[in-house]
Amino acid sequence: MEKKDFKQQFVAYLLLVLGSALFAVGDVMFVNPYLMAPGGTYGLSNVLNTVWPWKIAFYAICMDIPLLIIGTLILGPKFGVKTIVSTVLIFLFTLLLESIWGYNPVIHDGAIVASPIEGRNMVEILNNGGWFEPDYFLNTVVAGLIYGVAIGLIFRSGATSGGSDIISMILHKYTKISLGTLVLIVDSCITLTTFIAFGDIRLPIYSIILIFIESKVIDLVVEGTKSYKTAFIVTDKLDEVKEYILNDMHRGGTCITGEGLYNGTERKMIYVTMERADFVKLRSNLRRLDPAAFVNVIESSEIMGKGFKALPVEE
């Protein structure tokens, strides 16, 4: 059991390192050169880095550390060791990459002339005679994919994103507005700073597209490609339906006894969760098993327990 726990922790920290490195790649090589700010402390750091040239990593860590401290004081110790490790790793990878690579874009048409002033980003390069022809849409798609995979790996490792999300958590505590709404508001405000700083309406629009792509990829990385259905089947042919689920589908389920609302008669209901392919089989056979069955089907984003995804290991 100890070996199994060690292996799980090793894989978790490996995912954490890979995710942190990928995040730095996405930010320094794709997001920053195109002056985008897709939310978070690193999004705001990209804007500050362009307006007042200083390392992105320095700006971000100066925000992340106080936010972690304030969040811990107000919300309690919700931020585990992995979140702190992730914060440090992203800082180190970002600092290393921007020191070695600089702020040149990967995706572009045309030549990039290096700035005579070391450490300047693309705005100053352009002002000093350099140029490149941007491909905003392709860069946004690639950046969204990289960000999504990076943050998805960090989430799978058991860490949280921290950063500006802590602001949303604090506001949620006092305003009772939903956390999802507050995250959207905070990230949108950060995104809009690109328009305020650079006066180009395309920048916040592309940043929002990036966030949308990122969110879809995060779901794919964290939850995988499998799709699950949960079915509530009210039937008078309980034995026939149960037999089919157990013997033909090789699935378990739960029988629930209830009372019909209309006439008060006792009814049996089967609660069963399955993969999409199994649900297609069940649906096509239910009419044969019980033409009068009533079925309510729900999309299930995550299923944990025996026969599905293992329950997470407590740290």
- 251 contacts 308 by C-beta, under 8 angstroms: no
pLDDT in tens, 103-146: 888 887 766 555 444 444 444 444 444 556 778 899 999 999 99
> In the chain, which residue ranges form alpha helices assigned H by DSSP?
2-26, 40-51, 56-75, 81-100, 122-127, 136-156, 165-175, 179-198, 202-223, 238-243, 276-289
What's the mean pLDDT when you consider all of the chain?
Answer: 80
Residue 210 has pLDDT above 70, yes or no: yes
Q: Which residue has the higher pLDDT, 267 or 135?
A: 135
12: CB partners within 8 A, 6+ apart: 82, 156, 157, 158
For residues 304 and 51, the model is more confident at 51
The Cα angle at residue 271 between residues 268 and 276, in degrees rounded to 5: 135
Spans of all domains in the chain:
2-223, 228-300
User: Is 17 a residue whose pLDDT tops 90?
Assistant: yes
Asked if residues 128 and 116 have their Cβ atoms less than 8 Å apart, the reply is yes
How is domain 228-300 classified at the CATH fold level?
A: Alpha-Beta Plaits (3.30.70)
- Strand 133-134 and strand 108-109: pairing? antiparallel
Beta bridge partners of 299: 229
1 pLDDT band, cuts 50/70/90, is: very low
Phi, psi of 207 (to 5 degrees): -65, -40
* Cβ neighbours around 51 below 10 Å, total: 13
Report pLDDT for 118: 47
pLDDT in tens, 226-248: 667 888 888 888 888 888 888 88
User: Can you tell me whether residue 230 is helix, strand or coil?
Assistant: strand
Backbone angles phi, psi at 80, to 5 degrees: -75, 180
